[in-house]
Structure 1
Amino acid sequence: MQNKLKLAVIALCYTPLALAQNTHTEQNTAKTMDESAFTFTEAQLGEDDNMSQNVTILNSNTNAYASEVGFRFSPTRFRYRAFNQKFNDVYINGAPMNDMESGQFRYSNIGGLNRFTRNVDFALPFESNHFSMAGMAGSNNYDFRAGSMQAGNYISVAGANRNYTLRGMYTYASGFNKKGWAIAAGITYRWANRGYVEGTFYNSFSYYFGAQKKWDAGHSLSFATWGNPTERSTQGASTDEAYWLANDYQYNPYWGYQNGHRRNSRIVNDFAPSALLTWDWDINDNTKLTTTAFGKYSMYKSTKLNYNGSENPQPDYWRNLPSSYIDVWGSNIGNNQYSYAQYRRSVAWWQASKANRQINWNYLYAANKTAAAQGSDALYFVQAKHNDNLMFNLASTLTKRPEKNKTWNIGFIVGQNIGRHYQTMEDLLGGMSYHNVNSYAVGTYSSMSDEVQYDLNTMSPNRLGRLVYEGDKFGYDYTLRVQKGYLWSNYAVNTGRWHLMIAGKIGGTDMVRRGHMRNGMFANNSFGKSGHARFGESGAKGGITFNAGRGHTFLLGAGFEWRAPEAATAFVSPEMNNDYVLNLKQEHVFSSEFGYQFQNAWLHANLSGYYSRLGHVTEWQNFYFDDINSFSYVSMTGLRKEYYGAELGLKIKVASFLDFNAIGTISEAKNINNANVWYMSSTKATYNEANNGRPEKVLNRGMREAGTPLTAAGLGLGFHQGGWFIDLNANYYDRIYLSYSPSMRYESTLKTTGNVDNDGNYVIPAQAKGHGGWMIDGSIGKTLRLKKGQLSFNLMVTNILNNQTLVTGGYEQSRSDYTVKDDGTINSSRIYKFSKNPKKYYIFGTNGMFQMSYRF
């Protein structure tokens, strides 16, 4: 026994594999979800990076609220407790999957693999588990072992009117044979020539292959590989004015006609081939070791239409809108007979033809051909941003049961991510040339100066910049390398009516940037390696559950963490130089929860209250800032945030075949102080200066987390009998805030605009909100048992009443309602009001999917 335990500890410390938690080689501990409950929606996949962050997918069989909320509210991109998705830790076979630069996990990486993501262990924030110290928004561990997959064949065909219109799926799992081998494989194809939103398409192929071998000595080795190569186009947010003019809440400004064919300017190509190798060792009945090595190479490319010394070609650009001619907000600035005529002509133009409110590709080609004939660079082009990441991690967990009612887990995780970020020329749109120079800076600097060069190392002798052809890199090219490592442990004990859990972790993060272009504005601080930024990370949490008898259970939990800042927000302007954000610090994360549960034969109820507080938060944005006539890289530091609220879940068994359920949350998620702000002008290479010896403030106290309802509730009925199931849900969403613009709330901006009340206090613009409302969703299905196998039909419909006025997210425009003189004072007010025209996304109207499946 002691020799085996010593071997286990040695293996834990030195094995070249990594963690995947499970307590038995047979992999029989994961909870299994049914197919209908785990069909990823487009919102859950988080496939549109212009919209809100991914939803947080949580589930726990012991919590009536958490088991429903992730799927029920996903059409509005609901996030659990409004937390950033980086606080929801996702694992596969125990190996961490969250991106090491941003902390996010993109569910699109496992899109189309519904049959293989059904075996999953969930841990709510203060629940014990066998694979981690649970995150503040919980943790999920998917079991991708071939031997864990349900044996048999499965065929599914579905039609939908969502992002994709057709889906076909085939999976096979052998189960273990007499020699201890198991094999599982599957493919899925999703396609749409036109998605729900006009101008979009979808083309995605998903695959999975897994093999597992187990031996009588308690060892098991499993291999799995999967991927989801996808090409798709995206939808852009727009203003209410544009939606009104188009008479369509799904108006999409990203596409137009080229020679009579639809063409979208925003195309995403996404492929992240992944593989892992897992070793499970049942040392004895009370001691288990699980180790997994994981690797992934993620290739992500997103295109964008851009322009060079010409007018913005976006059809909903503010100068193209009727409200740029007359002031529709009451001040009557510039309103006269001529401007009213211009307004009417603009409205008539927008409404006369669909082509008038889309991108005019034929015009862009004609303009570029004219420029080429004159020897000029292309006026319009399509660029592509690339984020390629090579990630490896190694993790291992030892599970020990010293006594029947006690469980101790200890593990480590080490990993590295190398992220290459660069821009390429996708399409010159008929143009003949383009040079690798910062055309935005020409005027501030001479066209022959070093400062306008994106890369001094490849500058041409005539100082015009290197010629860029289709497929060539230009603008920026850099690598971020992140290394992480930590030890974690948890201990759980059941003593009669008490369940106690404690967990902790300690480790660190190292990050560094390496520039591959020598930017002319930062000739000595852009090419080559930056300095290293190193941060310690640690945390601890504990939970107490008391079973008071007669169905009453109480939970109390609290935790504190020091988290390293994300590499994605650690650099001021990673596209230009090696500078780290000033006063970059670890985030301080406190979380707590009190819960009550009642359960008997016909009622299951949960009521929870929670409070979380974040300190030393750093946030980063990049946008065009009118006051400095430049793109601006903005870092906000020293932020403090509070999250608190109440959650209710009810499940009532009305009859043996009929269930009633209700879930709801009222929450708050907001900044509780004003942040320090440090921003750089991309055309001058200058930073904003301190204000009277102190950093400038952005007055963002009270700004809420955006893109998720802070109030949500749902009522549902479920009928299940004789192979039939019918579910009907009515859900209400409210307090949906849009991402705020920091530049509207800079101290310097408020001084410039004179936004001061009679007492000398700044008048801070209220954060823009979206309209809430009700949605009704339903599903109906039938399962038929055949002589060989099982045939199922399932119809799922979302937004049955076609309520299209509900906002799912969006953002305030970071432009000013005025123009600025060279001395920084206001020159004149614009007729168009950016502050009154946030860009929004609206919910899809009635949409659904019909699926037929055969399992045998």
Structure 2
Amino acid sequence: MKMLSKKPAFALMLTMTTASFYFAQSTQDTLSKDNEIEQVVLTGVADIAKDRKTPVAVSTIKEAQIIEKLGNQEFPEILNSTPSVYATKGGGGFGDSNLVIRGFDQRNIAIMVNGVPVNDMESGAVYWSNWAGLSDVTSAMQVQRGLGSSKLAIASVGGTVNILTRAADKKEGGIVSIGVGNDDYHKSLFAYNTGKNEKGWSSSFLMSRTAGRTYIDNTQFEGYNYYFALGYQPSAKHDLQFTITGAPQTHNQRTYAPTIANYIKFNPDQDGTPNRKYNSDWGYLNGEAFPMRVNYYHKPVMSINWDWKISENSKLNTVGYGSFGRGGGTGDLGKVGGKTLSQWGVDSNGQMNLDQVYAANALVNPVTAAAGSTLVRRSSINSHNWFGLISSFNQKVNENFNFTAGIDTRYYYGYHYQLVSDLLGARGYKDDKNKNIAPNVVSNVYAPNPTWNPFGGKTDPMEDRVGYSNDGEVLWYGAFGQAEYSTEKLSAFIQGAVSNQAFQRIDAFVKDGVTVQRNQTVNTKTGFKDIVGYNIKGGVNYNFDDHNNAFANIGYYSKQPFLNSVYPSNFQVVNPNLTNEKIFSAELGYGYRSPIFSANVNIYRTTWGDRWQRKTVNFNASAGTSTTTGYVEMSGIEEVHQGAEVDFVVKPFKFLEFTGMFSYGDYHYNGNASGSLFDDNNNPVSFNNSTSNSSELYLNKAKVGNAPQTTAALGFNIKPVKDLSFDTQWRYVDRNYANIDVNTFTDATVAAKGTLELPSFNLFDLGLSYKIRLNNDKQYFTIRGNVYNLFDTTYIQESATNNHVKQVSDFKTSSNTDTQAQALYNTYINNPNNFYKGLDVSNRVYFGFGRTWAATLSFNF
């Protein structure tokens, strides 16, 4: 059985399964034939690709690699040395990382734990902060780029990440470890496995705590991880596994990307370089640092897995799971003195003027004042209950042919509302958004702390909710089937799946039969909207000899949109233009295996049409923070993702190994799209230079943003003597573009400049391990040290804007003559303070972390 760890928007549905696996050869350390990956045949519902057999592009990261190289990095970052993968730290808060595969973000990558999908059922989101301890219990992580080998009706548009966790019947033993790192990082862990006794019982337990601060200012965090697995194998035919895991955590965030100008302006050294640690999402309140952005969550996940070997040729694998996520994230709500939080500006250090807000709030009587006339910190709750069942029957017809059929059922209920987290000196917050009650003054506050209740606990009173209160309900019924044919040289499969997703939106602030939205009278409950989706895919692999193989795969998905696409603009009205997204993908691959050199080459093309997307946006950037937040809804998007990948392993000696990869992609939009802009209260907002909130978006040929289209890596591992190893890795990122800024792409002239290309960068990491053995072979100490970004390179990992260097034409207006425009341009272009590495400093970006380090001492027994 395998176990999972944690996660927010979904319950890490683990399908803990007893696994005797066959490690599919990866681009990391498994390409070498010396290491011929033992065939991973998970007896549960997980679909693990087999080297030289499953026709997909795959990389596998083993447990030893995760333990050695992860340190205090984000969990997805362990994948950065695999082709076409880009994992960043996002805003830099604990667990706020982002993952991109072949240009597709993690909402469109199927994240699986032991074969069970864990992406949020409403939005597809993945919150790595709630998986803080997942790395502690992971036995292997396999990345299948492209269609993947999962039989379920999941839309793995960019790829599939399958995380395989430890089983209850793991060999008897335990470990104690202590880790430290930069910025007061520390981690302590204890784990123990009993092994399987004569009666078939086994158990595994783990507990850890991680705390400190990341490289970014005021990003303190504290997270725990607990894991318990109980296994019982009464006979050779039956294997039962129960698992519970959770990771309560709280962490300060940086959710707003400052301008380059402000990174430089608010550098204490005042040397013209950016302060990469700068965070504008906090300030001092009554003499103490006060974070405006805090994320807190606890998502316990429970599962029970039953593997039944009916006969030599038949088996049934079933997993039932449940998840109870509770928590949310904070931000500002309301105005005081007629100003939003960002309009109160920042102090000389670039931090929020919270003391001024506190004093202004104290002057307001919320009872007599208009609604929203005080400025408070709110918590946006994103809780859920999630239950599911997956059952898969496999029949081996003969030595060459087998088929699988199964069901995938899920039920999800999400709770979304806002509470007051801190009054910031106010006597209350007056809210008038609930149309079922008179405007009320809320004075109860809810601290941003995660609950430890493994069953979620109660939701909060309706009278304390402000801003909005809506729930999402999703029913999922799916069926799948796959037929496989395999000989020594040839293997082929064809797979199909169908699912019905039923979506309902429940808005407690709407008045039944009275509220009018889009010229329609609406009710609290919308009723369920059923949408059918399906996929079909197939592939073939041929082994020419012991060294050479080739494969091909092809597939088509009709993917249901997310909940906010079904009910756009946060209204209770079904999207009149609702349609499934269409994805077509094809891939060719070649592999070579030998004891000294092994390599893979892949080429692929994916088209993604009829896409609907909602994106959070910021308007009118001022003094390092946003004055208005909201969202844009885009429809009619079509994307093309195509490219080539190479990865290899060279092992000239037993003590020396080289690994490398190179990927080159072309990810772009095909044709234009349309967009509508709204603020957080669902009010239409005009686009720049426009009186309308709707506009055509001139996206044709624009590059997909925050997804590097050229990446490369080269590393080596040397073991000069027994128990001592040294490793290093170089990574290169190029042709990385800014994210789509919708205000820019509503102007055809500006959009013609395309997406902004960010400077390329090189990073180097180092690692050292030493094992101290005791007299008992089962007892030994391990010392591990890592240094990341060894040369302290300053680089931009993401950009939220597309502000190109200005041309003379940008200064021409109806009131400027050509001469005046030229003069303004000359002043602009000749001022070096307007530029950073060739970029206009008005761009809002996230810089990557500088040099960081981590060290661990562990004792195995």
Distance 1:531 1:87 in 2: 27
Q: Deviations over 1:527-560 (max 9, x none)?
A: 5112432211111111111112251111111111
Structure 1 residue corresponding to 2:528, chosen from 520, 525, 532: 532
- List gaps (5 residues or longer) in structure 2: 1-12, 23-38, 43-59, 268-274, 447-463, 622-626, 807-812, 829-833
Distance 2:685 2:89 in 1: 42
Instruction: State the partner residue of 1:802.
Output: 792
Query: Superposition pairs for residues 715-726 of structure 1, below 5 Å?
Result: 715-720=714-719, 721-726=721-726
Structure 2 residue corresponding to 1:516, chosen from 486, 508, 511: 508
Mean CA deviation greater in 377-386 or 614-623: 377-386
Instruction: State the partner residue of 1:111.
Output: 132
SS of the residue 1:368 aligns to: helix
Q: Deviations over 1:110-160 (max 9, x none)?
A: 322334211556655466568788934443444556434343111111001
Instruction: State the partner residue of 1:644.
Output: 642
Amino acid paired to 2:648:
L
TM-score (norm 1): 0.79
2:329 is the alignment partner of 1:302: yes
Mean CA deviation greater in 424-433 or 203-212: 424-433
Structure 2 residue corresponding to 1:177, chosen from 197, 200, 215: 197
2:407 is the alignment partner of 1:412: yes
SS of the residue 1:108 aligns to: helix
CA separation of 1:763/1:211 partners in 2, compared to 1, >3 Å: closer, same or farther? closer
Query: Superposition pairs for residues 112-127 of structure 1, below 5 Å?
Result: 112-119=133-140, 123=144, 125=146
Distance 1:781 1:641 in 2: 44
Instruction: State the partner residue of 2:772.
Output: 784
Report which of the two has the higher share of helix.
Answer: 1
Structure 2 residue corresponding to 1:33, chosen from 33, 58, 62: 62
Instruction: State the partner residue of 1:594.
Output: 588
Distance 1:284 1:272 in 2: 37
Structure 1 residue corresponding to 2:855, chosen from 833, 850, 853: 850
CA separation of 1:150/1:668 partners in 2, compared to 1, >3 Å: closer, same or farther? farther
Q: Deviations over 1:221-242 (max 9, x none)?
A: 2110000000110124210110
Mean CA deviation greater in 672-681 or 166-175: 672-681
Amino acid paired to 2:796:
V
CA contact (8 A) 1:78 1:708 kept: no
CA contact (8 A) 1:503 1:540 kept: yes
SS of the residue 2:364 aligns to: helix
Mean CA deviation greater in 602-611 or 703-712: 703-712
Instruction: State the partner residue of 2:279.
Output: 252
Query: Superposition pairs for residues 351-370 of structure 1, below 5 Å?
Result: 356-370=349-363
2:494 is the alignment partner of 1:502: yes
Instruction: State the partner residue of 1:554.
Output: 550
Query: Superposition pairs for residues 393-792 of structure 1, below 5 Å?
Result: 393-437=388-432, 454-460=433-439, 465-467=440-442, 469-471=444-446, 472-518=464-510, 522=516, 525=521, 527-549=523-545, 551-574=547-570, 577-623=571-617, 633-679=631-677, 696-720=695-719, 721-746=721-746, 750=747, 764-788=752-776, 789-792=779-782
Mean CA deviation greater in 75-84 or 737-746: 75-84
CA separation of 1:488/1:403 partners in 2, compared to 1, >3 Å: closer, same or farther? same
Instruction: State the partner residue of 1:222.
Output: 241
Query: Superposition pairs for residues 237-386 of structure 1, below 5 Å?
Result: 237-247=257-267, 248-310=275-337, 350=348, 356-372=349-365, 376=369, 379-386=374-381
CA separation of 1:244/1:212 partners in 2, compared to 1, >3 Å: closer, same or farther? same
CA contact (8 A) 2:240 2:306 kept: yes
CA RMSD, Structure 1 to Structure 2 (Å): 3.9
Give the drift of 1:106: 3.2
SS of the residue 1:403 aligns to: coil
Give the drift of 1:618: 0.3
Distance 2:442 2:221 in 1: 34
Q: How many residues align?
A: 743
Distance 2:334 2:209 in 1: 36
Distance 1:365 1:216 in 2: 67
Distance 2:388 2:235 in 1: 29
Give the drift of 1:812: 2.0
CA separation of 1:420/1:271 partners in 2, compared to 1, >3 Å: closer, same or farther? same
SS of the residue 2:584 aligns to: strand
SS of the residue 2:657 aligns to: strand
SS of the residue 2:762 aligns to: strand
CA contact (8 A) 2:74 2:89 kept: no
CA contact (8 A) 1:516 1:527 kept: no
Instruction: State the partner residue of 2:220.
Output: 201
Distance 2:323 2:240 in 1: 19
2:118 is the alignment partner of 1:97: yes
Q: Deviations over 1:385-444 (max 9, x none)?
A: 11011111111011222222333222110001111110111111111132113xxxxxxx
SS of the residue 1:359 aligns to: coil
Give the drift of 1:169: 0.6
Distance 2:563 2:158 in 1: 21
CA separation of 1:314/1:237 partners in 2, compared to 1, >3 Å: closer, same or farther? farther
Q: Deviations over 1:602-647 (max 9, x none)?
A: 10111111100001100113446679x9876532112111001111
CA contact (8 A) 1:371 1:379 kept: yes
CA contact (8 A) 1:553 1:598 kept: yes
Give the drift of 1:583: 1.1
Distance 1:765 1:683 in 2: 33
CA separation of 1:498/1:237 partners in 2, compared to 1, >3 Å: closer, same or farther? same
SS of the residue 2:764 aligns to: strand
CA separation of 1:306/1:640 partners in 2, compared to 1, >3 Å: closer, same or farther? same
Amino acid paired to 1:649:
D
CA separation of 1:414/1:488 partners in 2, compared to 1, >3 Å: closer, same or farther? same
Amino acid paired to 1:553:
N
Mean CA deviation greater in 356-365 or 112-121: 112-121
SS of the residue 1:99 aligns to: coil
CA separation of 1:101/1:220 partners in 2, compared to 1, >3 Å: closer, same or farther? same
Distance 1:135 1:280 in 2: 26
Give the drift of 1:506: 1.1
Q: Deviations over 1:766-792 (max 9, x none)?
A: 323433211111111012222231211
Q: Deviations over 1:701-756 (max 9, x none)?
A: 2333332322111111210241111111111112222222213323xxx3xxxx65
CA contact (8 A) 1:515 1:526 kept: no
Q: Deviations over 1:559-610 (max 9, x none)?
A: 1111100114433222xx2133341211111111111111112101111111
2:84 is the alignment partner of 1:84: no
Amino acid paired to 1:793:
I
Give the drift of 1:522: 4.1
SS of the residue 2:561 aligns to: coil
Q: Deviations over 1:198-248 (max 9, x none)?
A: 211011111001101111251122110000000110124210110111221
Distance 1:168 1:18 in 2: 24
Mean CA deviation greater in 142-151 or 737-746: 142-151
2:180 is the alignment partner of 1:159: yes
Distance 1:827 1:366 in 2: 43
CA contact (8 A) 1:647 1:664 kept: yes
Amino acid paired to 2:799:
G
Distance 2:711 2:602 in 1: 15
- List gaps (5 residues or longer) in structure 1: 1-16, 46-53, 59-63, 322-348, 351-355, 438-453, 757-761, 818-824
SS of the residue 1:702 aligns to: coil
Distance 1:259 1:222 in 2: 52
2:800 is the alignment partner of 1:811: yes
